[in-house]
Structure 1
Amino acid sequence: MTNPASSAQLTVKHLLPEDSTVAASLLYRAYHDDKLFKDVLGGSDAQTYESRLRALIREELSCFGQSAQPLIGLYQAQSLLAIACVFEAQTELQASRRWDWRLRLMMSAGYLQTQQLIDKEKTIREALADQGHYYFLSFIAVEPHYQGQGLGHHLLDALDELVKENPIASGLGVFVSEADQNAFFRQHGYEKFQVLTFKSVQGELLFKTRAAIMEKSL
């Protein structure tokens, strides 16, 4: 059963510190069955995988917050209904992934798993190197009871505004490995940039240019 969310009651703002636990829960549920995370983080049993996924989300939210990367929340009154986690290329996010971040994640998710996640991010950065100063969408999630009401579309519109407000931003990228995800982003003007494979999971790196975003707003 879904709950109605009126667009007139929705507000977009940076994630409030007190909502970090809710945000982690949203992301955990959204990415629990993600093929790539299952491939990289999967252990000998479901409990091991779930523990690693929770650890990854916890450390990523902490890392994004410490490096002041955009954590965009969609709220109805005081309730967080959806979240998008974005990093800005050529910022302090890389520096924040120092030895203590790696150590914490290695201890909770495993050495090999941590290295594969770092390699994945490095591969994406290298693929988008010619795009200059871009944004990249790492995570997006909608509260399950509010899915199917266009909240994801509201978030993507907010990310367009993020690009428009930054005069040096060249656009926004995202990696998707599911057909429905691909269709969702293409509906918003994202185009295929490159096919990437991580372990046994193949997906598409999509990119929406600043020109496409500005054209949409005319």
Structure 2
Amino acid sequence: MPEGKLEIRQLGGSYRREARSLLYQAYRHEPTFAYLFEQDRPGYDQRVRASVRELVERHFDEQLPALGLVLDDRLIGIALVSPPTKRFDITESWMWRLRMVLTAGFRCTRRYLDYHQAVLDSLPPGEYSVLPLIGIHPEFQGHGHGLQLLEALHDWCADDEHSKGVVLDTGNARYLEFYQRLGYQEVGQVAIGPVLEHVLYHPNPQRSAVA
């Protein structure tokens, strides 16, 4: 893969479309989404696309932080951040719920709400940032870009005096070793149908040596 200029950017609403496209590509084959949005039933891609769209739109509407990894002006990685000082539970919005039911269907919306609540119930107490969605475009995976994005996120949190750590969850077991090498600790497990969701916490991230 040709080398180019890589940089971390704090993303504004002008990146909505790119963020939706990237996160759809990153999540459409993930085990958790495959169960939540019923991969074996026709219309799966449309349900995932609609769900990602509603999550991204609400995130930017609430002006919550988003960090992007940009290669030659192309967005190749993104982390949506819900910081402790502006924590917003997207599922509390009745408009979001209505739009989800209309686009993803009642059953898939119910599954997503149950999943979301189960993860929230397993979170540790304290002030920390939560990552509702994080991903690297599949075309750029396997080149260390996930590490770059997470290190930038940890640096961002280290500069936030209100954030004492980072929480994320994954139902993809192949990511566990990667997160654990970076200092994430498993604080909970949630059964999402046949998927075991792992809730991971990184306490007190410090600035990386190359920040």
Q: TM-score if structure 1 supplies the norm length?
A: 0.86
Greater shift in the superposed pair: 75-84 or 59-68: 75-84
**Structure 1 residue 39: Cα displacement:** 0.9
Distance 1:90 1:126 in 2: 19
Cα shift readout 1:81-133 (whole Å, capped 9, x = no counterpart)? 21112222463522774211110011101122212212222222222241x22
Distance 1:140 1:73 in 2: 10
SS of residue paired to 1:207: strand
Cα shift readout 1:161-181 (whole Å, capped 9, x = no counterpart)? 121111121211111222221
- Tell me if the contact between 1:173 and 1:206 (Cα under 8 Å) persists in the aligned partners: yes
Distance 2:24 2:49 in 1: 6
| RMSD of aligned Cα (Å) | 2.2
Mapping 1:148-167, distance limit 5 Å: 148-167=142-161
What residue identity is the alignment partner of 1:143? H
What residue identity is the alignment partner of 1:55? A
Q: Which residue number corresponds to residue 172 of structure 1? A: 166
Distance 1:75 1:115 in 2: 35
Q: Which residue number corresponds to residue 100 of structure 2? A: 105
SS of residue paired to 1:93: coil
**Structure 1 residue 16: Cα displacement:** 4.1
Distance 2:159 2:49 in 1: 33
Give % identity. 26
Unmatched 5+ stretches in structure 2: none
Unmatched 5+ stretches in structure 1: none
User: Among residues 171, 189, 203, which one is paired with 1:209 in the alignment?
Assistant: 203
Cα shift readout 1:44-97 (whole Å, capped 9, x = no counterpart)? 634x11111001000000111011222211112321121112222463522774
Q: Which residue number corresponds to residue 38 of structure 1? A: 34
What is the number of residues matched between the two proteins?
Answer: 210
**Structure 1 residue 207: Cα displacement:** 0.6
1:13 aligns with 2:9: yes
Structure with greater helix percent: 1
Distance 1:10 1:22 in 2: 17
Distance 1:66 1:164 in 2: 25
What residue identity is the alignment partner of 1:214? Q
Distance 1:119 1:90 in 2: 25
Greater shift in the superposed pair: 136-145 or 163-172: 136-145
Q: Which residue number corresponds to residue 182 of structure 1? A: 176
Q: TM-score if structure 2 supplies the norm length?
A: 0.89
